[in-house]
Structure 1
Amino acid sequence: MALGELLKIVTPPDKPKEVPTKPNWAAVEKKLGLQLPDDYKRYVTKFGTGVLGSFLRVYNPFSKREYTSLQKSVVSVCEIHQMRSDTFPYEFYPESPGLLPWGNDDNGNNLFWLTRGARNKWPIVVCSGRDDRSQLFEMGMTAFLARTFTGEVKCKIWPKPFAVKSRRFQFQPN
């Protein structure tokens, strides 16, 4: 279980921010017109809104804030990327398969699912916020996050590795 991998290196908050007692995932998915991966739903329920390792942010569909809301970010991030280049190798949501944003980093890069195949097997694509570079990772979201912080994932878009072996990373609720 990939969330278990992540929990070994990042401690979630005692009280996740912006997570209702009974999250209405059906309403979120109906609004988006697709089902979200199970590991994402477990992540949001466990962590809520915040920043992982002072670097990565996962959008929360229950957040009311523009910068952290999944639904608001899906619209704004897809609009920005669609305007950038006709040579980009992927389509964007709502196209299927397409890139559906689920997070970003402090350098202005975006994290997407490539919505091809079964939702629990959607690969991850990191897209540069400054040019048309992208990198595909054939793993789910929580595996990607865990392996990023253990140093197994090497993202060519990020300036340098920030993973440190045998270190617990902080989650900062916000």
Structure 2
Amino acid sequence: MRLPGDYKRFADAYGPGDFADFISICHPHGYTEYSNLTGRMPGIIREYLQQDYDQGKAPVPCHPRHLFSMGGIGNGEKLFWITDPLDAPDTWRIAGSEDRGLRWFTFDGTLTEFLVSVLSGETAVPQVPDELLEEPVEFASSVPGPWVSVNVKTRPPVNTESIREWGRAHGYDVPFRGRVPLVVLEAWERAHPL
């Protein structure tokens, strides 16, 4: 599926992350299945919408096959592209829903126009609290920090025969072959701390 040009520029410029710790936009290189635009979550969300649509449980602004989940607001609300027409991604509009899908809104514009309008306070969205804009809006990248080496104490290899002998000397019933019972291993480790 082709993606809107403004989204491609946005994804290149910002990468994965959140605005005001409240509005998240999925990214092709998202670090969790919930933030990965090309992962399985958009399809799963569409299936749930389709089930609700078929059962008449939740209103949607268009047929679920035209909704592609590409972000979230707050605690479970979803942002979608309305992908109609599919072959004209630069004309796609934005839709959003509550966590349970009962209240929807639509925005006649691109994703970046939506973000600018909402984060500047020009457009009020029911799922975005007024106090969100009381502080300066910042973008926080969700790129993981650099890998840091941690010193982990590891036990050098121990001959299981010596553990068996220790166990017998301390009154444990230890078989001569097979697995050393867990209770014996735990007792031996307590007696021989790192």
**Unmatched runs of 5 consecutive residues or more in structure 1:** 1-33
Distance 1:50 1:135 in 2: 23
Residue among 121, 138, 145 paired with 1:170? 138
Distance 1:81 1:110 in 2: 11
Cross-structure match for 2:63: 91
| 4+ long deviations beyond 6 Å | none
Distance 1:156 1:57 in 2: 16
Cross-structure match for 1:106: 74
Q: TM-score, normalised by structure 1?
A: 0.70
Aligned-partner residue type, residue 143 of structure 1: E
Q: TM-score, normalised by structure 2?
A: 0.63
Asked whether the 8 Å contact 2:17–2:24 carries over to 1, the reply is yes
C-alpha spacing 1:156/1:106, structure 2 compared with 1 (3 Å): closer
Distance 2:132 2:139 in 1: 15
Deviation at 1:125, TM superposition (A): 0.4
Residue among 9, 14, 27 paired with 1:60? 27
Deviation at 1:168, TM superposition (A): 4.1
Asked whether the 8 Å contact 1:111–1:124 carries over to 2, the reply is yes
Distance 1:133 1:125 in 2: 11
**Unmatched runs of 5 consecutive residues or more in structure 2:** 143-194
Q: Which has the larger radius of gyration?
A: 2
Deviation at 1:116, TM superposition (A): 1.6
Q: Give the share of equivalent positions with the same residue, in percent.
A: 27
- The C-alpha deviation readout for 1:73-131, integer Å capped at 9, x for no partner, is 21222123223342523222xx3xx1111100122100011112321111110111124
Distance 1:64 1:169 in 2: 23
Give the 5 Å matches for 1:1-174: 34-72=1-39, 73-85=41-53, 86=56, 88-89=59-60, 90-92=62-64, 95=65, 98-117=66-85, 118-160=88-130, 162-164=132-134, 168-174=136-142
Cross-structure match for 1:11: none
**Aligned CA-pair RMSD:** 1.9
Asked whether the 8 Å contact 1:61–1:69 carries over to 2, the reply is yes
Larger RCO: Structure 1 or Structure 2 (Cα < 8 Å, ≥ 6 residues apart)?
1
Indicate the SS of the match to 1:112: strand
Indicate the SS of the match to 1:125: strand
Distance 2:90 2:24 in 1: 20
Asked whether the 8 Å contact 1:126–1:135 carries over to 2, the reply is yes
